[in-house]
Structure 1
């Protein structure tokens, strides 16, 4: 079931939206719906990655300082190569 909502955009942004929609032979609504879906999907994937990182660090008792130290070690070894 679709629901209509009112959203305000700055003129320049709306002009860009309309330009892309026209170029892709789609409606403004289709383009904005796809943009919202892509944004939500991207945010969900990043949240899953962060959640995995938190769980992994809790299991291994790593601290933030341990991680930074390991990053420095890896960078140092790459510079030496």
Structure 2
């Protein structure tokens, strides 16, 4: 399992809530709040598919880091499902 999949797995299985956030035109950005109140962001082109998600910014109080890691379609389906529920 790659890093993007691990981040998606953690977010999808332990996340408390998901919010679609403001983005530049043509980009879907999903923010998932984790149990410790850190937030993992995922992005893809609005015209993209479940295999086009990327793990992006991770933010926690007082720190954070930027990722640009691919998420496979297996975990991308879960991210897509959250965007459709919004």
Q: Which of 1 and 2 has greater Rg? A: 1
Larger % of strand: which?
2
Question: What is the TM-score normalised by the length of structure 2?
Answer: 0.24
Using CA pairs under 8 Å that are at least 6 residues apart, name the structure with larger relative contact order, 1 or 2: 2
Question: What is the TM-score normalised by the length of structure 1?
Answer: 0.25
